[in-house]
Chain A
Amino acid sequence: MLDGRSMIRRRAGLRLWLSAGWLGALGAAALLAPWIAPHDPLAQDLFLGRMPPFWVAGAEPGYWLGTDSLGRDVLSRILYGARVALLVALAAGGISCLVGATLGLLAGFLRGWFDMIISRLIDIWMAFPPVLFAILLIAVLGPGLVSIIIAVVVIDWTRFARVVRSEAMLQGVMDYVASARVAGAGRIGTMIREVLPNVLPTIVVLLTLEMGIAVIVEAILSFVNLSISTDDPTWGGMIAEGRTSIHQAWWVLVFPLIALFLTVLAFSQLGEGLKDRFDPVLR
């Protein structure tokens, strides 16, 4: 029998590989969507409306996961929806990381008035319900991919700023920072060369988690019909449509939901796995 610790380590390794595997496969599918999707994701055929998936009686050959009420192929729409989801994950996650981590690092290391402003801003941001904030921002910016990315960045930069700030504060009082300063390094130079590398593992973990959050935010916004234009297939939009016909055509809801569920789970497990691997702070 395995002892507890090695069991945990083996499980951690397994979940890292499983998550990375799913995300890799999804990335490949998203890139290759125009070539591997069996149908045009926008092509409507009212004679083929609400066809069930292939193993259910009455399925239409060639439409593996069935069709929605307008006769559009569910599998093709999921593949194209993956492009939107992953694009938002990379762009929104990356930019909020860059903005939030920079501000948090500066606030935590330099302290003083800059830290006061950033901390106050974080407090104000924490008093907003995030989903409502996102919906408001999309109403302001208008629907579209860029708006979603901006909304995620505006809302979620505090996730990075909060953690990185307190981390930089801890590192800032350590001996190695003092000795770098004594050796004649400038403040910003010390921050970038000495403190940043020590905070980097934390940032990478947060970034992975943020990507999963960005995917969810996109899905929620397209669920309330405020995401990118209604034509382009998104998982959230498919789920919203499936919700209305949940009793007649469950597959319209279930398959995009599975894709979304696994993707969010994979990002978060990847983050947790990385945390166990190399970040003593967040653990």
Chain B
Amino acid sequence: MQILRILCLRLATTLVTLAGVAVIVFFVIRVVPGNPIAMMLPPGATEADIARLSALYGLDKPMVTQFGIWIAGVVQGDFGTSITTRQPVLDLVLGRLPATLELSIMALVMAVLLGGLSALIGTRGRGGRTEGAIDVVNGMALSVPDFLWGLVLMLVFGVLFPVFHISGRVTPSLDLPFVTDFYLFESLLRLRFDLWADLVAHMFMPALALALPLAAIIGQLLKQSLKETMNLDYVTLARTKGYGETHVIMREALRNAVLPTLTLVGVQFTFLIGGTVIIERLFSYEGLGNMAIDAVINRDLPLIQGIVILFAVIFIAVNLIVDLLYAVLNPRLRHA
């Protein structure tokens, strides 16, 4: 019952947050100077042409009415029509979402692997030079944001040692047999490892750039809680049974040390997803973020609204999932 009440409360606050995001983005972008309709029409268009097209997109009505129409549509899953491409916003956004999701999840996996590995090595060599070195590397990775790591990686692996592609999602000349937009996932299912390798060669640098700061956070926090767990009685008991250090860390300590890290990873993962906006731009990766920047430059109001709302939904969903996972994994909450 307790959990059910908390869940209802969470859903209610979530709705308030989403409504707030919707209101802010709707009214903020309507202050943007530059008439999107005038930008769509050829230079010789008359005032009457502009007025007619504005009416078509509903941009001639008062702002509050526009907001009402838009929200009523959004609730029914209709996000309006993009002004530049004249396609439904929902189709455009859902078409790009898989690319961004694949990039974010690949980055998350990289961050967990790198961070977890550095925490394990650091815990094994705690108090010595190994731990000191790991602290320095983590400190560096944490101090510099994804945008700069992206540029550094681009120079190293794109120019100095050109092993990865520096732009795009996939080599354009390749023939793609995919029916979904989850290219990376589908190439594995179809056992097309040639395409999979090409996709990874494009995603590697943007994903690593996004992963590095998060890897450092995971590494630091997990090492901290592992070190604390290693001093507990039950771990000492496991040690007296004659198990080696690696076994004790992996089998005994890790399970208890992982909880605090998990909560933090949730919040940080939303930061990572937010980072895809500029990283996609930097690597010309055809995802949501890249489309968002184009939408702002082209003053495509319905598209901007749709993308921002989608990002907000993703952020909130990630936080909810983490909370639920925490409740499932934490025995104290499970039996409450």
Contacts and interface: CB of A to CB of B under 8 A. Distances in A.
Contacts of B311: 127-129, 132
B275 A131 contact: yes
Interface residues of B, number: 55
A137 B28 CA distance: 8
Interface of B: 13, 16-18, 20-21, 24-25, 28-29, 31-33, 127-128, 131-132, 135-136, 139-140, 142-145, 147-148, 151-152, 154-155, 158-159, 166, 270, 273-275, 277-278, 281-282, 289, 292-293, 296-297, 299, 304, 307-308, 311-312, 315-316
A128 B314 CA distance: 10
Interface in A126-140: 126-132, 135-137, 139-140
Interface string A124-156: 101111111001110110100000000000000
Given A4-B127, A243-B282, A264-B143, A216 B32 contact: no
A7 B132 contact: yes
Nearest to B271: A130
Contacts of A140: 28-29, 31-33
Nearest to B277: A131
Is the interface on chain A under 10, 10 to 19, 20 to 34, or 35 or more residues?
35 or more
Interface in A236-283: 239, 243, 246-247, 250, 253-254, 257, 260-261, 264-265, 268-269, 272
Given A130-B274, A257-B151, A261-B144, A139 B132 contact: no
Contacts of B140: 265
Nearest to B16: A120
B274 A250 contact: no
Contacts of B135: 8
Contact of A254 (B18, B142, B143, B155): B155
A246 B143 contact: no
A250 B159 contact: yes
B274 A260 contact: no
Nearest to B292: A132
User: What 4 pairs between A and B have smallest CB-CB spacing?
Assistant: A129-B274, A268-B143, A124-B20, A127-B312
